[in-house]
């Protein structure tokens, strides 16, 4: 069959443009990468894209195909035509079914489908992506032959906690689709946070406390995620970065009392506590408890002063608070979730012997 490929092309320093290529003798089982190779080898040698393994291993060939980030060597023409736009009719004649191809999003384009991955690697670097060991223990790790006292043991169950994030091939598809990254350049992004979960749950790592502090400190870490789910939907390796982010959030919330927590953590904790107390949020108290830390943070309280006064003058501050009629039900739901989480914690895999 014939297939039209509409490919977004761009030279350094110029605006992107869309070029159409008609490819003959295409089979539904051909991968998109097979087709790109033919377009380059048989037609336009200037077409630029990355590829390497051709087998969903290296992550090089990620690009946007039919509007969504995917691996070109994983998707085939049949699947893309089934999920893509309808074949158009122009002037009474059907045109060949069409597949659109664009470079990854959230990254600068170098040429055509080749993007500059440096911002992606910089964000990975920011989470210190290696197991952290004291120098003495690290030396013992390297000792050979290993003995029971020098090797680092890990139970199979603990090891299993690292596997899903460990499947990441650093393709950048999640980064490309991340809505938070589009508006918050400080956010480290889904791939770096998935990697961070792998280290937080790694029993060999000795920097868990520092990691959780860094990851929960501001909107560059887990609180910067808007939970849009895009990363889970596009990841070709089922790493499910959003789920990994949720694991880190749970670890952060579990380790910190509200009054000692950073503001983003206190925000989450206070929200849940207030809903548990009154069925909904008592707005008179919320800012005082989160920003003012219940009277402990004078600077925070002072920062609320002028806004609070203006709201008071304009009658925007409710004078009373009435609990929601459904408070008992809401409270029982929150308590049930907490009981289930505690049971999960009790059943969690043991630390290594
Ligand atoms: S769920 Fe969070 S990390 Fe994943 S794409 Fe959306 S904003 Fe980004
Ligand atoms: S988490 Fe998934 S989508 Fe993101 S870089 Fe890794 S393999 Fe690619
Ligand atoms: S070429 Fe390696 S993942 Fe596609």
Q: Is residue 125 located within the same domain as residue 251?
A: yes
How many degrees, rounded to 5, is the angle at CA 318 between CA 317 and CA 319?
Answer: 110
| Bridge partners, residue 22, by sequence | 4
**Last residue of some domain: 89, 111, 133?**
111
User: Looking at the domain assignment, is residue 77 inside a domain?
Assistant: yes
Alpha-carbon span 65 to 62, nearest angstrom: 9
**182-197 per-position pLDDT tens digit:** 999 999 999 999 999 9
Q: Is residue 153 located within the same domain as residue 130?
A: yes
Size (the chain), residues: 353
Q: Is residue 24 located within the same domain as residue 86?
A: yes
Question: Burial, 285: exposed, middle or buried (Cβ in 10 Å; 0-12, 13-18, 19+)?
Answer: middle
Q: Is residue 329 located within the same domain as residue 229?
A: no
Q: Is residue 134 located within the same domain as residue 195?
A: yes
Tens-binned pLDDT, residue by residue, of the chain (353 aa) = 999 999 999 998 899 999 999 999 999 999 999 999 999 999 899 999 999 999 999 999 999 999 999 999 999 999 999 876 655 545 555 567 999 999 999 999 999 999 999 999 999 999 999 998 877 677 777 777 777 667 778 889 888 989 999 999 999 999 999 999 999 999 999 999 999 999 999 988 889 999 999 999 889 999 999 999 999 999 999 999 999 999 999 899 887 776 777 787 888 888 999 999 999 888 888 888 888 887 888 888 888 888 888 888 888 888 888 899 999 999 999 999 888 877 776 666 654 43
Alpha-carbon span 109 to 103, nearest angstrom: 7
**Last residue of some domain: 255, 280, 307?**
255
Residue 132: count of CB within 10 angstroms of its CB:
16
Q: Is residue 97 located within the same domain as residue 169?
A: no
DSSP3 helix / strand / coil % (the chain, rounded to 5): 45, 10, 45
3-state SS record for 9-74: ECCCCCCCEEEEEEECCCCCCCEHHHHHHHHHHHHCCCCCCCCCCCCCCCCCCEEEECCEEEECCC
- CA-proximal residue: ligand 2, atom 4 (nearest): 174
DSSP 93: E
> Is the CB of residue 165 below 6 angstroms from any atom belonging to ligand 2?
no
**65-122 per-position pLDDT tens digit:** 999 999 999 999 999 998 766 555 455 555 679 999 999 999 999 999 999 999 999 9
- Closest ligand by atom to 239 CA: 2
pLDDT of 34: 97
- CA-proximal residue: ligand 2, atom 3 (nearest): 235
Instruction: Note if the pTM is more than 0.75.
Output: yes
Alpha-carbon span 210 to 239, nearest angstrom: 24
**160 token code pair:** 């299993």
Q: Which residue has the tokens 């609180």?
A: 223
Testing ligand 2's pocket by substitution, the residue of 71, 164, 235 carrying the most ligand atoms inside 8 A of its CB is 235
| Bridge partners, residue 63, by sequence | 70
Testing ligand 2's pocket by substitution, the residue of 74, 127, 190 carrying the most ligand atoms inside 8 A of its CB is 190
pLDDT of 352: 44
CATH number at residue 137: 1.10.1060.10
Alpha-carbon span 107 to 193, nearest angstrom: 18
pLDDT of 91: 53
CB 173 within 8 A of CB 143: no
> Is the CB of residue 226 below 6 angstroms from any atom belonging to ligand 1?
yes
Q: How many structural domains does the chain have?
A: 3
CATH number at residue 63: 3.10.20.30
User: Looking at the domain assignment, is residue 122 inside a domain?
Assistant: yes
Cα 65 to the chain's mean position, in Å? 20
User: Looking at the domain assignment, is residue 141 inside a domain?
Assistant: yes
Q: What is the CA radius of gyration of the chain?
A: 26
The alpha-helical segments, DSSP class H, found in 150-221 are 156-160, 163-166, 173-177, 179-183, 190-200, 208-216
Q: Is residue 133 located within the same domain as residue 248?
A: yes
Q: Is residue 236 located within the same domain as residue 284?
A: no
Q: Is residue 297 located within the same domain as residue 226?
A: no
Q: Is residue 125 located within the same domain as residue 63?
A: no
pLDDT of 302: 86
**131-160 per-position pLDDT tens digit:** 988 776 777 777 777 776 677 788 898 889
pLDDT of 114: 98
3-state SS class at 210: helix
3-state SS class at 114: strand
User: Looking at the domain assignment, is residue 351 inside a domain?
Assistant: no
User: Looking at the domain assignment, is residue 353 inside a domain?
Assistant: no
Testing ligand 3's pocket by substitution, the residue of 49, 55, 104, 114 carrying the most ligand atoms inside 8 A of its CB is 55
**Last residue of some domain: 65, 95, 111?**
111
Q: Is residue 69 located within the same domain as residue 171?
A: no
Q: Is residue 250 located within the same domain as residue 267?
A: no
Q: 87 is in which domain, residue-wise?
A: 3-111
């Amino acid at each position: 069959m014939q297939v039209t490929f509409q490919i977004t092309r761009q030279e350094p320093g110029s605006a992107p443009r869309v070029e159409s290529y008609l490819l003959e003798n295409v089979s539904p089982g051909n991968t998109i990468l097979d087709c790109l190779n033919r377009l380059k080898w048989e037609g336009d040698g200037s077409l630029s894209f990355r590829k390497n393994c051709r087998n969903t291993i290296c992550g090089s060939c990620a690009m946007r195909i039919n509007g969504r980030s995917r691996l070109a060597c994983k998707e085939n023409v049949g699947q893309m035509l089934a999920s893509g736009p309808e074949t158009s009719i122009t002037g009474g004649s059907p045109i060949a079914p069409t597949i659109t191809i664009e470079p990854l999003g959230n990254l600068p384009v170098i040429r055509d489908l080749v993007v500059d991955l440096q911002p992606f690697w910089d964000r990975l670097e920011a989470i210190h992506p290696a197991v952290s060991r004291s120098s003495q223990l690290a030396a013992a790790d390297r000792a050979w032959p290993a003995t029971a006292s020098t090797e680092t043991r890990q139970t199979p169950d603990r090891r299993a906690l690292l596997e899903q994030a460990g499947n990441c091939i650093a393709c950048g598809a999640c980064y490309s689709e991340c809505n938070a990254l589009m508006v918050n350049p400080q956010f480290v992004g889904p791939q770096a946070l998935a990697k961070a979960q792998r280290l937080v749950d790694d029993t060999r790592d000795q920097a868990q406390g520092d990691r959780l502090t860094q990851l929960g400190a501001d909107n560059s870490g887990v609180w910067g995620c808007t939970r849009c789910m895009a990363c889970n939907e596009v990841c070709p390796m089922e790493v499910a970065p959003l789920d990994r982010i949720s694991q880190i959030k749970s670890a952060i919330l579990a380790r910190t009392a509200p009054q000692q927590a950073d503001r983003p953590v206190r925000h989450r904790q206070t929200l849940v506590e207030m809903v548990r107390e009154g069925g909904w949020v008592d707005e008179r108290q919320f800012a005082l408890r989160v920003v003012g830390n219940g009277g402990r943070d004078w600077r925070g309280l002072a920062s609320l002063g002028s806004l609070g006064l203006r709201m008071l003058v304009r009658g925007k501050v409710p004078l009373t608070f009435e609990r929601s009629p459904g408070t008992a039900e809401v409270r029982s739901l929150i308590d049930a979730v907490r009981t289930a989480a505690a049971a999960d914690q009790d059943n969690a895999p043991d630390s290594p012997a």
